[in-house]
Structure 1
Amino acid sequence: MRRRLVFSYSLLMILVLLALETPLAVTLANRETERIRADRLADANRFASLSGPALRTGAVSAITDELRRYHELYGIGAAVIDRERRPVVAPASPALDSEPTAAAIFGALAGRQMTVPEVLWPWQTGPLVVAVPVNDGGEVIGAVVTVSATSRVRRTVTVWWVALAAIGLLAVSAGVMTAFRLAGWVLRPVTVLDVVTHDIAAGDGKARVPTRQGPPELRRLATSFNEMADAVADALDRQRAFVAHASHQLRNPLTALRLRVEELGPSLTDSAGRDEHRLALEETDRLAQVLDGLLTLARTERARHTMVRVDAAAVAASRVAAWQPLANHRGITLTLAPTTGPAYAHAVRTAIDQVLDALVDNAIKFGHPGGRVEVSVHRLDGGVAVRVTDDGPGMTGAQLESSTERFWRAPDTQNIDGAGLGLTIVAVLVDASGGRLTMHPAAPTGLTAEAWFRAADV
């Protein structure tokens, strides 16, 4: 954005300078041309007054001497021609057959004072041709032509133009430097705001924007942003604190309730009472799982995470070994795809462990006897992907969109143990690690869940 602002300022300044200097440059060229043109016309008119007798009587000695001395003094060729365009006096033999000279002679014989070219531009190299008519009683009987070099005039115009270009370049340089400073002053609060926004999104809830930089409008914006960030941080802290405190405070009465319900078991004699007793114990265990999930989620969201370097392949091997007994008990084949060497990733401490625990637990829990669950670690897109694939019932597209919401459970899994917080915790941990979580149906059935983490340098 700073470059665009500086470019806009610079372009505007260049256009203004061009609008000012271009007419000035043209005026300078016209002024120098008019100066030499007036001088040559005065000389040509004097010679025209002396050329009338020569053209009428043929006495050309006087005008010949004048033109010769004129050429010797100033280096300017001059000639007198008659109405038939024949040179009558031409001591310096100027080139009378060139196109500019022919055009000037034609105009002079028509009774006009001619100057070719009308303006001397620096890039032109031709001479200045001036032609004036010789009149006798109102009749044009010939013309006087002068052909003079213009290198000195063009050099003068070039020097003026170079000076103008240098002044314009200095003005543009000063303007660009000023534009850089002005753009930096204006955009510095915006840059800081962008950095602070990313810091807050990354989990630094204490990051704030300085309020004493930039123009007043951006200072007010910084103040408003800080107030908004304070309000949001306070609301999030209150929410997390409430969840953590409520979950913690409910643990004790829930434990006491379970003990009391459990003690009622021996006093129940009929089968119906024992079944209700068993269901009551299961519900207390389910409520305990919900509270444990809420505590884990609250701690995960509130923590200031530290990134560590983790060998995802080694973690995957250890978690597969830990879950192998449960998989064998459920009749599910749990395998780890072979990997070539370590796969180091940047992640929150224990994030990969907890992610694999939740994903493998779900795959085993919702799988069927004889099913398969495969854990694999891949190097993907400049990072490390930890993937868990099963051949269970899977989820539909709509269910996948809602799967990471708190307490969400698929309609056909309501009778299976769980609190509906496992995938929520996985999503929070992956996001805190700067990774991404993707889930999609496996072929022909089942689900593939993949957690991607940034690669760490070996």
Structure 2
Amino acid sequence: MRRRLLAVLLTFSAVAVTCFAVPLLAATAQQRTQRLELARAADLDWFAALARQAVATGDTGPLRREAQRYASLYGESVLVVDARRSEIAAAGGLRADDPGVAPLVDAALRGQTPRRVSDLRPWTREDMLLAGPIGDGIRADGAIVLRASTRAAAADVAWRWAAVVLGALAALAACAVLSASVARWLLRPLGELNAGVQALTAGASGAQVTERAGPPELRDLAESFNRMSRVVGEAARTQARLVADASHQLRNPMAALRLRIDGLSGRVAEDARPAYAATVAEVERLEDLLEGLLSLATAESRATSLAARAQSPGDPAEEEVCDLGTVVFERVDAWSAAGVRAGVAVEAGEVAE
């Protein structure tokens, strides 16, 4: 049961942590991608302003120098073309005939700001292409294309994902510890109750369990079990005492009766022999019944003692005691009649210690 409960709790914890971590990973990648895209969009706007100035003045020198400085500083490529798709400025090796550039230029010349950007992943190695138009918002006089490196952003995403994964693993470990604690808190009282029931079944009288462990329902159950165990133990002890006392009380009169009947053996008339034999048989049957009762009481007492010692092996063995004077007095009383007939005095002497 412990394994099944832990499996359920750990499965639920893993699902909960996964449902929390996966969206966080996606949000982290999306946020870093948007940061990169916004930064490069600002660069596009800056080059668009320089390109408008170059078109207005006819001097493309400042635009070319800025493109070269940008490529050398960031290690990324810049391409500026006019409305006829002719190159105005280029740096970093980007050309208008490169794969994927022509569709971006066409879209930018139509006044659009295309974004061919997908969320970054730690394993992303493909460069990002972004384009923007040159113009006043009504008419496009050219287009700008940037090829941005994603390696630094992908490494940043990898570090963030590692932090999220480590946090998820730590949360899962905490859930595992909490699940183990909850399982122990719930199942320990059940284990004690099971041990108590087994002890009670084995004959251990008065088996008790802890009443201050587990949830309130199990504490109430433990308290009810302890009450039941005490009642059952007291009932068993009362029954054993009743059987033992009854058999002991009846044994002495029965022994005296047997002696007197045996003493009549030679004095019974011939015609009374059948009745005498029947009387002897009934006395023997009563003696067997008393012996059985004594054996039963002794066996129950012995079984209870052994079961209690088995459940508590560290407890000292209980000493079995008897009243020697009472036993001697009962034996003297039982054999006195036979001694009188035989001319022998039966008396209790002193017992040397």
Task: Give the TM-score normalised by structure 1.
Answer: 0.55
Q: How does 1:52-91 map to 2 (within 5 A)?
A: 63-80=63-80, 89-91=89-91
CA distance in 1, matches of 2:256, 2:267: 17
Aligned twin of 1:297 = 296
Letter paired with 1:146 = L
Aligned twin of 1:381 = none
Contact 2:75 2:92 survives alignment (8 Å)? no
Identity of matched residues, %: 34
Aligned twin of 2:230 = 230
Count of aligned positions: 305
Aligned twin of 1:191 = 191
> Shift of residue 154 of structure 1?
1.7
What SS class does the counterpart of residue 39 from structure 2 fall into?
A: helix
> Shift of residue 77 of structure 1?
0.6
CA pair 15-137 structure 1, distance change in 2 beyond 3 A: closer
1:32 aligns with 2:32: yes
CA distance in 1, matches of 2:257, 2:97: 123
Larger % of helix: which?
A: 2
Letter paired with 1:154 = A
CA distance in 1, matches of 2:275, 2:18: 93
What SS class does the counterpart of residue 80 from structure 2 fall into?
A: strand
Contact 1:100 1:116 survives alignment (8 Å)? no
CA distance in 1, matches of 2:137, 2:186: 77
What SS class does the counterpart of residue 33 from structure 2 fall into?
A: helix
Q: How does 1:304-323 map to 2 (within 5 A)?
A: 304-305=305-306
> Shift of residue 119 of structure 1?
1.7
Letter paired with 2:268 = S
> Shift of residue 240 of structure 1?
1.8
**Residues 392-434 of structure 1 deviation map (CA, whole Å, 9 limit, x = unaligned):** xxxxxxxxxxxxxxxxxxxxxxxxxxxxxxxxxxxxxxxxxxx
What SS class does the counterpart of residue 115 from structure 1 fall into?
A: coil
Aligned twin of 1:93 = 93
Letter paired with 1:267 = V
Q: How does 1:167-206 map to 2 (within 5 A)?
A: 167-206=167-206
> Shift of residue 83 of structure 1?
7.5
Q: How does 1:327-342 map to 2 (within 5 A)?
A: none
**Residues 231-258 of structure 1 deviation map (CA, whole Å, 9 limit, x = unaligned):** 0000111112222222333333444445
Aligned twin of 2:155 = 155
CA pair 306-49 structure 1, distance change in 2 beyond 3 A: closer
> Shift of residue 51 of structure 1?
4.7
CA pair 48-251 structure 1, distance change in 2 beyond 3 A: same
Contact 1:55 1:142 survives alignment (8 Å)? no
Contact 1:265 1:274 survives alignment (8 Å)? no
Letter paired with 1:248 = H
Contact 2:203 2:307 survives alignment (8 Å)? no
CA distance in 1, matches of 2:12, 2:200: 38
Q: How does 1:360-399 map to 2 (within 5 A)?
A: none
Larger relative CO (CA 8 A, sep 6+): 1 or 2? 2
CA pair 285-21 structure 1, distance change in 2 beyond 3 A: same
Larger % of strand: which?
A: 1
CA distance in 2, matches of 1:190, 1:95: 76
Letter paired with 1:243 = V
Gaps of 5+ in 2: 309-353
Moved more, 199-208 or 58-67: 58-67
CA distance in 2, matches of 1:101, 1:229: 87
Aligned twin of 2:144 = 144
CA distance in 1, matches of 2:98, 2:250: 110
* CA RMSD between the two structures: 4.0
Q: How does 1:214-363 map to 2 (within 5 A)?
A: 214-259=214-259, 263=264, 267-270=268-271, 274-275=273-274, 277-303=276-302, 304-305=305-306
CA distance in 1, matches of 2:285, 2:139: 125
**Residues 365-417 of structure 1 deviation map (CA, whole Å, 9 limit, x = unaligned):** xxxxxxxxxxxxxxxxxxxxxxxxxxxxxxxxxxxxxxxxxxxxxxxxxxxxx
> Shift of residue 205 of structure 1?
1.9
Contact 1:247 1:295 survives alignment (8 Å)? yes
Contact 1:109 1:142 survives alignment (8 Å)? yes
Structure exhibiting the larger radius of gyration computed from Cα positions: 2
Contact 2:82 2:143 survives alignment (8 Å)? yes
CA distance in 2, matches of 1:277, 1:34: 118
Contact 1:100 1:117 survives alignment (8 Å)? no
> Shift of residue 70 of structure 1?
1.9
Contact 1:265 1:277 survives alignment (8 Å)? no
Letter paired with 2:164 = L
